[in-house]
Amino acid sequence: MRSIALGLTILLMAALAPVASAATITINGTDGLWSGAVPASGVAPDPVITNGGTPRIIRWGVAGAHFGQQSGYDYTAATTPFDATVDGAAFLLGTFVHQNFPITAPFLTSVNLDFSLDWASFGPDLAGAFAFTHDETPNGLNPCPYGGANFQGVNIFGCADSVTVSSPFLNTLVDDGVNQYFFTLVGFSQDGGTTTSNQFVTTETLRNTAGLYGRVTSVRIPEPASALLLGVGLAGLAHRVRRRR
């Protein structure tokens, strides 16, 4: 009886378990446009959004006298087309740059990156907004909350800032009739996607660069033949149980 019950369990698990796959899907295009800045874009004197070229740009703050540059983000979408591995490694969506320079108010607190992903063999593009939260850390703090250079209690280069990204569609489902695919935003990476984080700590006075990465996983939809085989197998095992009783 135990062996039959075990057989039923194994057959059921095998039929219902997701099928691992080394397949790929083709990403035909990806893009991102800045929007929804807080404080609102166009309110004097900043932030200012420029989505008409490459990279997509947002700038804010009054430039300091020493460096003479505003702070801001640059986003450049990954070159397409490329193949993304299903159930595999994270893949690059685009390059994110924080131009981190000493500035005075107004400071950015949040902004969206209106994101689109065009992949082969599917219907409408995947679209949504990645929400960025920005912490413009005062440079006079000691110690700095995210790190920074201090010498004998005097901040020299300024405190690091923090950028956090999230998405309202972390597990968006797309169905091509054979497989179900989930797209997930996995966050920032500075080592090619090996390690990722939703937070990017950026050094003052530098051009800080990280990749923004996603991942695609799949869940196999059982084919009719597989479902029939499962039914026959379960029925056969059930019949054997009845005979032994």
CA distance 122 to 128: 17
Q: Which tens digits make up the pLDDT trace of 168-214?
A: 666 777 776 677 788 888 899 999 999 999 999 999 989 999 999 99
CA distance 240 to 140: 78
Q: Which amino acid is at 80?
A: T
Please provide residue 234's backbone torsions phi and psi, each rounded to the nearest 5 degrees. Answer: -65, -40
Residues near 10 by beta carbon (within 8 Å), at least 6 away in sequence = none
Please provide residue 212's backbone torsions phi and psi, each rounded to the nearest 5 degrees. Answer: -105, 120
Q: How far from 216 is each of 54, 86, 168, 173, 198, CA to CA, in Å?
A: 26, 5, 16, 10, 17
Residues near 13 by beta carbon (within 8 Å), at least 6 away in sequence = none
Residue 240 has pLDDT above 60, yes or no: no
CA distance 209 to 55: 13
Tokens of 195: 């390690």
Answer whether 55's CB lies under 8 Å from 74's CB. yes
Burial letters 65-81, b for 16+ CB under 10 A, else e: eeeebbbbbbbebbeee
Q: Which amino acid is at 173?
A: L
pLDDT band at 7 (very low <50, low <70, confident <90, very high): very low
Tokens of 203: 């050094």
Residue 23 has pLDDT above 90, yes or no: no
pLDDT of residue 49: 95
CA distance 144 to 136: 12
pLDDT band at 41 (very low <50, low <70, confident <90, very high): low
Residue with tokens 């054997």: 240
Please provide residue 147's backbone torsions phi and psi, each rounded to the nearest 5 degrees. Answer: 105, 160
pLDDT of residue 28: 93
Mean model confidence pLDDT for the chain = 79
pTM of the model: 0.78
Residue 191 is classified by DSSP as S
Cis status of the peptide bond prior to 222, with omega within 30 of 0:
no
For the ranges 136-145, 150-159, 212-221, 232-241, the one whose mean pLDDT is highest: 136-145
Q: Which tens digits make up the pLDDT trace of 56-95?
A: 999 999 988 777 899 999 999 999 999 998 877 899 999 9
CA distance 53 to 57: 8
